[in-house]
Every structure is written in structure tokens, then in C-alpha cells.
């Protein structure tokens, strides 16, 4: 989850490659990607196709948001996996494999287990009280992707260590040659297109608890690692292709929207659309966001614990908000303000200030 382009002084670099410079744009994109996940969850309260046992549903829906939600669905999770792969490559600059595994256990596995075992009992006590049937069963809920990331690190660790310590290997030379070619970065869509064709998921944008999600996540995670491993050619190339990628993403989205009505999509085309969105976002981020700021320093630390607590906060607000006789847009506005605002308040005045609780939300013991 963390970009970790700078880590603590207690770790030691063991790299044969030049050290990677800090990328503030990657920190921004990680923050924005998780922020969009929260927005996505909030909008689901106003969508007819969502299971009401998973997300409380407002009586009056906002069907006009279906195209926007569908657009977000094809890249929000793949981008998060790609940024996570980038973060692991940054983290390897100052950590050996033992320190890396320890760090990922603290930052990813502990919050996942905490969310799975603790949020379940809390919701089991609260939700029946407000009339929602929610028997206690430990479950991953909205933290499901954390286990994916942790397992990707375990599965790929040996290969990533070898590649990092042998920066002049033939595979990297091959990747650099591809990336240097005009539109070469678009060729990285091929593995995603093959995956979509082979698994043929019911919906490309559904990644939870299926083979399609596991494989897409693994591919995007490894791509992120590879891109940072050849970052001297990746960053110029992704900036150069950003407009082409944006036009391609919009065009393919238009086909999916107007030709297939967002239903009978051609999955391998959606895979190309997904990568195009990601390359465009990363390219514009590299162009305009690679600079430090006080807001980034705060929100890059806050966004992960805010994400962990946002869904219980969102559901609690829905209990009081949805029965009110307010227009749907009014409820949406209040739900947006309340979910983001209360989650940030919980972070600022509770989560980050209690040392013992910080690791449960993916934070270091010290907030200095």
C-alpha cells in the first residue's frame, strides 16, 4: 500500500542499481486512488444493481451516475495494485527481504486481519439493532485487496529480488527497448487482454473473490514493480503517451457505453481501456504532481486508515440519513461530507494519536 520511496534510517540498501528518487506523484496517485475507492462505495448507495445486503440502498436512485461508476470500475482497483507494485520497488531500496516482509506484515496483513475479525463482530452487534440482518462471520469486506497484495509480495519476492540486484539483465533490456518505442507502453495491455479473454469474467470491473481479480491484480502489481525498475525510460515514455492514452481510454469507454450499453462488453477491449486509463493518469501525474506539499504529507499518511474506517462510518450515516425525506442529491452530498469528514476526524483525533492502535490501521507506532 505504501509508496515507501523514502523509508527509515534503520534499514540498509542492498541494491546494485542506482537508488530511485522519491516520486511525489506516486504518493499523490496512491492517495487519490484510495480516495476514489471511497467515492465509489458512496455512490453504490444510489445504484440499483448493488446488493442491498452489502450496501444500504436509498429509495430514490441516481441512475445518471451509472456511466461514471462503470468508468471508475475498470481502473480503480488495477491502478491501486500497480501503485502497490511501485511501492514495493521503492521499499526495496532500503530494506532487505526480511525487513520488507516485516514491513508488509505490519502495514498490510495486520490491518487485514484486524478488519476481518473485529469489524465483523462490531457490525453484528450494531446492524441487527438498526434492523439489518448481519450475523457474525469473519470476512474480508472492503479490505479484501490487502490480502492479494500481501500474497503477491510473497509469491514474487524471489523474482523481484533477483531483478532488483541484476539491473542489467536481458529481460530489463528487452523491456526498455519496448518502452522506448512509440506507443510501446500500450503493449503492456497484451497480458491483461489475454487474461480477460481466457477468464471471460461476467464483468471486467468485478475483482473481488474471483480468478479474474486475482490475475489482474497480480499482473498490475508486477507491472508496477517493473515500471519502477526501468524508471529511467518509463517516466519520459509515460509522460509522452499520456494524451494518446487518454484519447484511447475515452474512445474505448465510448464504445462500451454507446455500442454495448455497459453490459455486453468485449472484455479484451475493456482490458485495453483499463491500461489506457492507468497510463494516462500516471502520465499526467508525472507531469504535474511530482512535487512535495504539506497537503500530500498529511493526506498520504491519513488516506489508508481513513479508508479502513470509512465503510462502517458510511453505513452508520446511512442508517440515520436514508429514511429522511430529502432529495437524493441532498442525501448524496451529506453522505459524501459525512463519510470523508467523520473518517478524517477519527484519524486526526483518535487513530493517529493512540500509539497502541496505530499498527491496526497500517501506521507505524510513531507519527513523527
CA dist., res. 14 & res. 91, Å (int):
11
Length of the chain: 368
Signed CA dihedral, 104, 160, 275, 297: sign only: positive
CA dist., res. 107 & res. 146, Å (int):
9
The whole-number pLDDT of residue 326 equals 96
Does 89 have pLDDT greater than 70? yes
Average pLDDT over residues 110-125: 73
> pLDDT tens digits, residue range 132-156?
555 555 566 788 899 999 999 999 9
> pLDDT tens digits, residue range 19-72?
677 799 999 999 999 999 999 999 999 998 887 767 888 999 999 999 999 999
The whole-number pLDDT of residue 8 equals 39
| Dihedral, 281, 285, 288, 293 alpha carbons, nearest 10 | 140
CA dist., res. 23 & res. 27, Å (int):
7
Query: Number of folded domains in the chain?
Result: 1
Could you tell me if 185 and 238 are in contact, meaning their C-beta atoms sit under 8 angstroms apart? yes
Could you tell me if 136 and 120 are in contact, meaning their C-beta atoms sit under 8 angstroms apart? yes
133 located within any domain: yes
51 located within any domain: yes
The whole-number pLDDT of residue 133 equals 54
225 located within any domain: yes
CA dist., res. 14 & res. 280, Å (int):
33
CA dist., res. 42 & res. 30, Å (int):
19
The whole-number pLDDT of residue 264 equals 81
CA dist., res. 107 & res. 149, Å (int):
11
Domain that holds residue 53: 24-361
Could you tell me if 1 and 87 are in contact, meaning their C-beta atoms sit under 8 angstroms apart? yes
Does 188 have pLDDT greater than 70? yes
14 located within any domain: no
13 located within any domain: no
Does 353 have pLDDT greater than 50? yes
279 located within any domain: yes
Buried b (16+ CB within 10 A) or exposed e, 159-180: ebeebbeeeeeeebeebbeebe
Does 158 have pLDDT greater than 80? yes
196 located within any domain: yes
The whole-number pLDDT of residue 56 equals 83
CA dist., res. 171 & res. 168, Å (int):
8
192 located within any domain: yes
Amino acid at each position: 500500500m505504501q509508496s515507501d520511496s523514502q523509508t527509515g534510517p534503520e534499514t540498509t540498501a542492498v541494491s546494485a542499481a542506482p537508488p530511485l528518487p522519491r516520486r511525489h506523484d506516486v504518493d499523490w496517485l496512491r492517495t487519490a486512488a484510495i480516495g476514489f475507492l471511497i467515492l465509489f462505495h458512496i455512490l453504490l448507495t444510489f445504484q440499483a444493481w448493488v446488493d442491498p445486503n452489502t450496501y444500504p440502498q436509498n429509495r430514490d436512485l441516481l441512475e445518471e451516475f451509472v456511466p461514471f461508476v462503470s468508468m471508475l470500475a475498470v481502473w480503480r482497483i488495477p491502478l491501486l495494485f500497480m501503485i502497490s507494485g511501485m511501492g514495493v520497488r521503492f521499499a526495496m531500496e532500503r530494506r532487505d527481504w526480511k525487513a520488507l516482509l516485516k514491513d508488509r506484515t505490519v502495514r498490510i496483513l495486520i490491518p487485514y486481519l484486524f478488519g476481518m475479525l473485529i469489524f465483523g463482530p462490531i457490525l453484528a452487534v450494531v446492524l441487527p439493532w438498526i434492523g439489518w440482518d448481519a450475523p457474525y462471520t469473519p470476512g474480508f469486506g472492503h479490505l479484501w485487496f490487502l490480502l492479494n497484495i500481501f500474497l503477491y509480495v510473497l509469491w514474487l519476492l524471489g523474482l523481484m529480488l533477483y531483478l532488483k540486484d541484476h539491473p542489467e539483465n536481458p529481460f530489463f533490456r528487452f523491456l526498455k527497448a519496448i518502452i522506448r518505442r512509440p506507443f510501446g507502453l500500450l503493449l503492456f495491455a497484451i497480458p491483461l487482454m489475454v487474461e480477460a479473454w481466457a477468464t471471460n469474467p461476467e464483468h471486467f470491473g468485478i475483482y473481488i473473490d474471483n480468478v479474474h481479480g486475482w490475475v489482474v491484480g497480480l499482473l498490475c502489481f508486477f507491472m508496477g514493480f517493473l515500471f519502477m525498475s526501468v524508471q529511467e525510460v518509463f517516466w519520459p515514455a509515460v509522460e509522452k503517451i499520456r494524451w494518446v492514452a487518454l484519447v484511447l481510454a475515452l474512445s474505448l469507454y465510448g464504445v462500451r457505453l454507446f455500442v454495448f450499453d455497459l453490459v455486453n462488453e468485449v472484455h479484451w477491449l475493456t482490458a485495453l481501456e483499463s491500461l489506457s486509463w492507468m497510463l494516462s493518469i500516471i502520465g499526467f501525474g508525472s507531469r504535474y504532481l511530482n512535487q512535495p506539499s504539506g497537503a500530500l504529507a498529511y493526506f498520504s499518511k491519513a488516506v489508508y486508515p481513513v479508508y479502513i474506517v470509512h465503510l462502517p462510518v458510511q453505513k452508520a450515516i446511512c442508517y440515520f440519513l436514508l429514511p429522511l425525506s430529502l432529495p437524493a442529491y441532498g442525501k448524496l452530498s451529506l453522505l459524501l461530507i459525512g463519510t470523508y469528514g467523520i473518517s478524517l476526524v477519527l484519524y486526526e483525533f483518535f487513530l493517529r494519536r493512540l500509539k497502541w492502535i496505530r499498527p491496526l490501521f497500517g501506521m507505524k507506532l510513531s507519527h513523527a
